[in-house]
Structure 1
């Protein structure tokens, strides 16, 4: 991964996104991968279900769109991308391979069956036990990444996948940022921490804030600061509205800490949040 990113950083500027558009489609072959069908797309890239013709397995093939090339020249970013590529945890999607062809860079990832949390949250709020289960899984993924020095920076329902068998996987750990994908001030509006709106340094507590918003939305059915596309409510001193959860009374206090405007007042990292959520799951709200 580090060698690939170094090559991309030195390569002349080209419109990789437009180059991919003429190639992608069912039946196309890129290297040893045959594309079968499109399964998702976004600002970071387009994802296809594909078949690895050498190993005979189904994979997710993600064609990377062009990003901010200057970002690839940061040594710290390259080191973090290399660490992200080595992450191995049951709650983080597995990266099998990375490569580059004449049309641009691509990633080959574990193929998941199910739906994103964003798809699941289109209806009623989740049961408290289910919200705690998903939140705990995401927290354990963050704990593993934070221990390796990797910060997600863009945790949102679109980057959390709930598999058909109930497993929870976090997507795009550090890779969107590594490939030069510069989001508005660094994250997804609604899930961005105050320091991201200010353009201040980000660390593990930025992910803690985003996870707090995630759990809040799963339980309450709404964001703590809805319709805050410009970040004014998030950046203001006003705290997030208190959340009272009858079947998990301590959850409201934990979320208040996770959504603290000052990072110093939040839990330090994913490991601290995972321990707190696991403790809550042992109470009455635990899912059978």
Structure 2
């Protein structure tokens, strides 16, 4: 299956791709308008495979599997998939448009503003992510295959934060059934060692990623020692020593939030202060001021053996760690 690079103002069938939102190890994501003619049609988000991967049957199958699985998910904390279409030999994954920024971008905006995100924000966001993951696990276990599908790529660039304080999980492109080996790609330093080593994985690989994201947001143990200890527990290199599930991890987060309340109202207030929304007149697309400069794809790498996990440092604008 072929694909060709695109630039702003390019038509893909009935979709007008006008703003490139980012790219990762598998694909690129575009803000698009459905239907021809200025001002008509709904705004959607389009994901398509990178040109060199669109000729690889393995990645084509991953995109098809992502579309089939995520189309069955209807949860307030998961980005809704509207369908999969093929246009001139190119597969397009069509998703709902959520005016938002990524957690990655929010962290970068805070850094540029000279402030640190409150520890309770990380606890609240990741608690919402745990809700989404547990729903997806249950949904897949009761689906046609009867096997739990893990996400496999939880990272700050795959977690969306909306201005009203909502949280959504994005990109199930690397999801796989529990027990499956040989991942095609992974996102460092949030990928569990067993995933990078191409070993069999279960939902504790997602728990590892949750812990790694928490550590990246905290940056230093002194900011919230209890949460730091939780992040280290979850991101240990030995899966059997981690919390057994996202639900167990969430329980610890909720204990912290009971003492330091944080919810959609506080998150929305922080978003509006840091994001500085504005409108691009030429496209009508909602963008996010300083956050726009932090946009970028996930730092995906091909899977390779790893004996020890890389402990994450503070999040920077490119999805890498600041040393």
Which band: TM-score by shorter chain? 0.7 to 0.9
Q: Structure 1-normalised TM-score? A: 0.73
Aligned 8 A contact 2:66 2:175 in 1: no
The answer for the alignment partner of 1:227 in structure 2 is none
Aligned 8 A contact 1:154 1:186 in 2: no
Q: Structure 2-normalised TM-score? A: 0.65
CA distance in 2, matches of 1:194, 1:185: 14
Question: Structure 1 segments of 4 or more deviating over 4 A?
Answer: 71-74, 77-81, 182-185
Following superposition of structure 1 onto structure 2, how do residues 39-78 of structure 1 map, counting pairs within 5 Å?
39-53=21-35, 56-65=41-50, 66=53, 68-70=56-58
Aligned 8 A contact 1:125 1:220 in 2: no
Does residue 121 (structure 1) correspond to residue 107 (structure 2)? The answer is yes
The answer for the alignment partner of 1:201 in structure 2 is 200
Secondary structure at 1:86's aligned position in 2? coil
**Superposition CA RMSD, Å:** 3.0
Does residue 20 (structure 1) correspond to residue 10 (structure 2)? The answer is no
Give the drift of 1:205: 0.3
Give the drift of 1:285: 4.9
Point out which structure has higher relative CO (alpha carbons under 8 A, 6+ apart): 2
Give the drift of 1:129: 1.6
The answer for the alignment partner of 1:134 in structure 2 is 125
Aligned 8 A contact 2:182 2:199 in 1: no
Deviations 1:88-111 (A, max 9, x none): 211111101111121411111011
Aligned 8 A contact 2:235 2:242 in 1: yes
Distance 1:271 1:61, change over 3 A: same
Distance 1:106 1:195, change over 3 A: same
Aligned 8 A contact 1:46 1:62 in 2: yes
Relative to total residues, which structure has the larger helix share, 1 or 2?
1
The answer for the alignment partner of 1:276 in structure 2 is 252
Following superposition of structure 1 onto structure 2, how do residues 238-277 of structure 1 map, counting pairs within 5 Å?
243-246=221-224, 250-277=226-253
5+ residue gaps in structure 2?
Answer: 141-147, 267-323
Distance 1:277 1:177, change over 3 A: closer
CA distance in 1, matches of 2:240, 2:125: 25
The answer for the alignment partner of 2:13 in structure 1 is 31
Aligned 8 A contact 2:67 2:83 in 1: no
Give the drift of 1:72: 6.0
- Of 43, 59, 80, 1:94 maps to 80
Aligned 8 A contact 1:20 1:63 in 2: no
Give the drift of 1:164: 2.2
